[in-house]
Structure 1
Amino acid sequence: MNAIVDVEVGQLLQQKLDKLKAAYNAEPYPILEVRKQKLNLLKQTILNNQQALVEALSADFGYRSEFDTAMTDVLPTVAQINYTLKRLNKWCKPSRRHAGLLLAPSKVTVEYQPVGVVGIISPWNFPVILSLSPLVTALAAGNRVMMKLSEFTPMTNNVISEICRALPEDVEVVEGEAEVAQAFSKLPFDHLLFTGSTNVGRAVARAAAENLTPITLELGGKSPVIVADDANLSKAVDAVLFGKCINAGQICVAPDYAFVPEGRINEFVALFLQRFEALYLKGQNDQGFTHIINQRQYDRLKAVLEDAKVKGAEIHTVSETSAEGRLLYPHLVTNVSEEMTIMQEEIFGPLMPIKPYRDIQEVITYINQNQRPLALYIMSEDKSVIERITRNTHSGGVGVNDTILHVGAEDAPFGGIGESGIGHYHGEEGFRTFSHAKTILSTPTWLPRVGMLMERRGMAIKALQKFFMR
């Protein structure tokens, strides 16, 4: 991209931001009813475009099942709007705080004020919920929003843009490749949310730092599954298969690799392949299996498999895949080693390396020696084992006897830790993320405190010291 085009893109984005800032300055604190009207309008527009979203997402992916789109993109977004509408009165209320004896009888309140204009950079894997979910929370907090959508989902972007046209004074949508995202992250937003890879997240953070823009980073990492000795292997396989097959594993909280007791690996692999074949290859799930988003990602995943195979891994799968349609069925990989690419990078696809273990402490030590993941999954009914793992490891969130579904907990924060992310944006925590907690101290005019402190400083200090430093 040459310098002239770069300047033109930056100017165009700045114009859009200026428009939103002007709208915010004209109404910096939308009343509760106005916020609810916007959310209800957004909800209705999403529902009106539900089928269009299903068709657009399938077109962008080459094929994406209606189940995947409904389960992970559309329904959770609508459910979040419903939940937000029910809780918004409570979230918006100023909170009373204790002023302390030193400041009595003054009153202290904390008011949650909209920050202004929020920037959102969303990825391609779940383009609906990962753009509209933070939009919902930002609008609920009273902000205006400018969104940068992924260039890899152009058909879906058209529908999202149509949805956002229902709120022309509140939302601006932009598209474009990496250079647009770079210019976008340099804008002086009042808050910036990025969802994507850790490497790109670092670049976004550096750009935002030039404006001291507060950021929320929803990144990723290698999220482990721990199958404990006591686990019901059949149920554990179902949970792992669900998390690895939704959207063909192209999800930031997908189980990335599994720890399985060394004596049960063969059984785990056999059960997994049997269940997948029953669900996807013999008609029980007539929705089919979602394809890989584009040829670059497909080639990357095939290269990861080939690297593992060359270095001595064993590959287990149910069927040959189609390069033409970018269809890649799950592949379980055993006999893995740390020098393999599959154990060094986030997989982001339907590949699952399996590591044997003898003692749960081995697992805890391994996890703690690596980067902190966005999610961690435990398959066990032993409370002592679950507690030992959760208290002695770090991760953005934990799922016990389930995978990925903790993301849908409406009243709980979702976010990473360390290289898997910064901050949260779900539920009430998300409302707080996109708000400024403004402390307001109110003092009655009859109180001569300031005059006393200024005119009799020495006496005042001695009296205060005598009272408070006992």
Structure 2
Amino acid sequence: MLLSTPIAAMRQPVSDGATRPRSWRLEQLDRLERAIAERRDAVLKALASDLGKPPVEAYFELVAVQQEIQLVRSRLRRWMAPRAVGLPVFLQPGRAEVIREPLGCVLVIGPWNYPFLLSLQPLVSALAAGNTVVLKPSEHAPATSALIADLIDAAFPTTTVQVVQGDGPVAQALLQERFDHIFFTGGERVGRLVMEAAARHLTPVTLELGGKSPAVVLRDADLEVSARRLVWGKCLNAGQTCIAPDYLLVDEAVETPLIERLGERISQCFGDDPLASADLGCLVNQAQFERLHALLEGARSRGQVLFGGQSDASRRRIAPTLIQVDNLDDPLMHEELFGPLLPVLRVNDLNEAIERINQRPKPLALYLFSKQRDAQQQILERTSSGGVCFNDVVMHVSVPDLPFGGVGNSGMGNYHGEAGFRTFSHERSVLRRPFRLDVPFRYPPYAGKLPLVRRLLG
């Protein structure tokens, strides 16, 4: 049986109002926090097993979930409070407000690249909003999936949270159920399938997808700092990060010195033999390795490899590699790379960079390295993306109060902090009226009342 507790039974405590009190929500956060604390070392081992994550990178996932719990706990009273809304004169006396109430039973489908963080972070938001949750971790990170199942089973009754493990057909079967919201993190192709399945029940969805996130480097940028940050962001989790810089658009005046600094920085981080480095993760499975390796070998055959290019199929590792690309038709520019290959495209100026960005679907993230405030403003006014970060990469996702999400092909909806609480809440409009002062002009017969209506309503 797919679900040990039916969806209807999980929805019942929400319908009965049992999950509405702040005390219930805080108790769920406490349960989750305790269960994580008891398994911290196990989390690091699972992430090393699935993705070869260095302990420091794996620890980022733990810390981010803990920070989300702490933020929600400190802000929950304020987020839950009714929000008063002003009334027009003709509705006074009265009181209007917006209350945020739970949606019901929601489905969270997690990805494989940050399998712990990106499964549990939306779970925190869903529980804080008073929902019950079915959680489907990715089968491509089996050790982490099993750990999450053990953690949730120990922390919650199945009427509150239950984990369903399995592959694509299991996910498809889950999507046949009627949930009150579906939160999916993954690729665009599967995102379309999720949205199609949700449409059958008119279930709202949040889609955290991806895309080719560009990084623009202008001639006034600090090249040393830019190279350091670009290499870190590109090589984090072996490039398997949805907001990693996917390709560079480099001002022709600094292309050569930037490439030199990028190469130097790669060597400083991972040594002369990056494939032997304990600080570089591995690709999640053989299929991902073979896809990227084919792109790498194609670039090598065309003489495009500028730096790196080593690979080891037995360990599913590819060294950080810089690749010269001349146009957007190059095979490396067709889809999100999701690996340690970094195409470098030369541009004349910011205008050309913006033109190239706008020739592609809207990305999940966009990066600009420049000291010019005018250049930053042009990026904001002439492009569209899920998020923007100036003179750094990836770090905007670490700001607790910044909503995180995509736009267009990179996703819909957002979460983190209050944005996550709102995603999993229904904002219900409430108007309270007394029985006194029931003015008669709104009731038929209407004869002779139009002049009064005009004076009152304008």
Mark yes or no: TM-score above 0.5: yes
Q: Find the counterpart in structure 1 of residue 112 from structure 2.
A: 124
Residue 344 of structure 1 deviates from its aligned partner by 0.7
Q: Find the counterpart in structure 1 of residue 135 from structure 2.
A: 147
Q: Find the counterpart in structure 2 of residue 108 from structure 1.
A: 96
Q: Find the counterpart in structure 2 of residue 408 from structure 1.
A: 398
Measured in 1, the distance between the counterparts of 2:448 and 2:134 equals 55
Q: Which moved more, 1:165-174 or 1:396-405?
A: 165-174
| Paired residues of 2:90 and 2:456 also in contact (CA < 8 A) | no
Q: Find the counterpart in structure 1 of residue 287 from structure 2.
A: 296
Alpha-carbon deviations, 1:424-470, whole Å to 9, x = none? 11111211111111111100122324x5532553344431222322x
Q: Find the counterpart in structure 2 of residue 442 from structure 1.
A: 432
Q: Which moved more, 1:402-411 or 1:301-310?
A: 301-310
Return closer, same or farther for 1:181/1:150 CA change in 2, 3 Å cut-off.
same
| Paired residues of 2:210 and 2:336 also in contact (CA < 8 A) | yes
Measured in 2, the distance between the counterparts of 1:120 and 1:335 equals 38
Alpha-carbon deviations, 1:171-196, whole Å to 9, x = none? 11111111111222232111111111
Q: Find the counterpart in structure 1 of residue 146 from structure 2.
A: 158
Return closer, same or farther for 1:358/1:322 CA change in 2, 3 Å cut-off.
same
Query: What amino acid is aligned across from residue 188 of structure 1 in structure 2?
Result: R
TM-score, scaled relative to structure 2: 0.95
Measured in 2, the distance between the counterparts of 1:353 and 1:283 equals 21
Q: Find the counterpart in structure 2 of residue 331 from structure 1.
A: 321
| Paired residues of 1:115 and 1:191 also in contact (CA < 8 A) | yes
Residue 322 of structure 1 deviates from its aligned partner by 1.8
Residue 419 of structure 1 deviates from its aligned partner by 0.3
Measured in 2, the distance between the counterparts of 1:374 and 1:174 equals 28
What does residue range 311-390 of structure 1 map to in structure 2 within 5 Å?
312-318=302-308, 320-390=310-380
Residue 314 of structure 1 deviates from its aligned partner by 1.3
Measured in 1, the distance between the counterparts of 2:142 and 2:84 equals 47
**Residue number among 59, 62, 79 corresponding to 1:70 in the alignment:** 59
| Paired residues of 1:316 and 1:333 also in contact (CA < 8 A) | yes
Q: Find the counterpart in structure 1 of residue 78 from structure 2.
A: 90
Residue 341 of structure 1 deviates from its aligned partner by 1.9
Residue 92 of structure 1 deviates from its aligned partner by 0.3
Residue 29 of structure 1 deviates from its aligned partner by 4.1
Specify the SS of the correspondent of 2:318: coil
Q: Find the counterpart in structure 2 of residue 229 from structure 1.
A: 219
Measured in 1, the distance between the counterparts of 2:384 and 2:370 equals 18
| Structure 1 runs not aligned, ≥5 long | 1-8
Residue 126 of structure 1 deviates from its aligned partner by 0.4
| Paired residues of 1:54 and 1:69 also in contact (CA < 8 A) | yes
Residue 286 of structure 1 deviates from its aligned partner by 7.5
Return closer, same or farther for 1:221/1:313 CA change in 2, 3 Å cut-off.
farther
Residue 88 of structure 1 deviates from its aligned partner by 0.6
Specify the SS of the correspondent of 2:133: strand
Alpha-carbon deviations, 1:117-139, whole Å to 9, x = none? 11111110001111100000010
| Paired residues of 2:20 and 2:101 also in contact (CA < 8 A) | no
Query: What amino acid is aligned across from residue 65 of structure 1 in structure 2?
Result: P
What does residue range 191-270 of structure 1 map to in structure 2 within 5 Å?
191-270=181-260
Query: What amino acid is aligned across from residue 215 of structure 1 in structure 2?
Result: V
Q: Which moved more, 1:260-269 or 1:435-444?
A: 260-269
Specify the SS of the correspondent of 2:212: coil
Residue 265 of structure 1 deviates from its aligned partner by 2.0
Measured in 2, the distance between the counterparts of 1:29 and 1:76 equals 25
| Paired residues of 1:28 and 1:116 also in contact (CA < 8 A) | no
Specify the SS of the correspondent of 1:458: coil
Specify the SS of the correspondent of 1:271: helix
The answer on 1:305 being equivalent to 2:296 is yes
| Paired residues of 1:115 and 1:143 also in contact (CA < 8 A) | yes
Q: Which moved more, 1:21-30 or 1:199-208?
A: 21-30
Q: Which moved more, 1:368-377 or 1:319-328?
A: 319-328
Alpha-carbon deviations, 1:53-94, whole Å to 9, x = none? 110111112x221111112x1111101110111111100000
Specify the SS of the correspondent of 2:291: helix
Residue 19 of structure 1 deviates from its aligned partner by 2.9
| Paired residues of 1:191 and 1:213 also in contact (CA < 8 A) | yes
Specify the SS of the correspondent of 1:300: helix
Measured in 2, the distance between the counterparts of 1:417 and 1:265 equals 30
The answer on 1:464 being equivalent to 2:446 is no
**Residue number among 29, 38, 51 corresponding to 2:28 in the alignment:** 38
Q: CA RMSD in A?
A: 1.9
Q: Which moved more, 1:287-296 or 1:453-462?
A: 453-462
Residue 359 of structure 1 deviates from its aligned partner by 1.7
| Paired residues of 1:313 and 1:335 also in contact (CA < 8 A) | no
The answer on 1:430 being equivalent to 2:431 is no
Percent identity for Structure 1 against Structure 2 = 36
Measured in 1, the distance between the counterparts of 2:42 and 2:307 equals 34
Query: What amino acid is aligned across from residue 43 of structure 1 in structure 2?
Result: E
Q: Which moved more, 1:159-168 or 1:210-219?
A: 159-168
Residue 287 of structure 1 deviates from its aligned partner by 4.4
| Paired residues of 2:309 and 2:320 also in contact (CA < 8 A) | no
Measured in 2, the distance between the counterparts of 1:300 and 1:286 equals 22
Q: Find the counterpart in structure 2 of residue 5 from structure 1.
A: none
Specify the SS of the correspondent of 2:368: strand
TM-score, scaled relative to structure 1: 0.93
